[in-house]
Amino acid sequence: MRSRLDRRTGAFDLGRLELPVAVCALVWTLVALLCLVSPGEARVSVVIVAGMLLLGGLFFLGMLVFDREALDTEPGGESPFDR
């Protein structure tokens, strides 16, 4: 989606490191959140939540690789990016 936004001359830009920085920020946020909300006695629920997040991420990655068109449009309507 970021590639569809206009870039301004002279504005801050991470260039090639934009995606790795975004992924690291997401992972850091998830780890910090997991550490804050999971007590030591609740291992089973943490494993279940982590497994569901992993499955959701794998599903999204599969959609990204194999059915990119489904992620670019909304069902039953005009794409918001065509405006």
Domain presence at residue 52:
yes
Domain presence at residue 59:
yes
Domain presence at residue 55:
yes
What does the pLDDT look like over 48-67, one tens digit per residue? Answer: 878 888 999 999 899 888 88
Q: Could you give the CA distance from residue 50 to residue 24 in angstroms, rounded to a whole number?
A: 17
Domain presence at residue 15:
no
Record the pTM. 0.45
Which residue range(s) make up the domain with 51? 42-71
Domain presence at residue 28:
no
Determine the pLDDT at residue 16.
84
The sign one gets for the Cα dihedral 17, 22, 25, 27 is: negative
Domain presence at residue 12:
no
Please state the domain count of the chain: 1
Domain presence at residue 25:
no
Determine the pLDDT at residue 11.
76
pLDDT tens per residue, the chain (83 residues)? 455 566 677 777 787 888 889 999 999 988 887 777 777 777 787 788 788 889 999 998 998 888 877 777 666 666 556 65
Domain presence at residue 13:
no
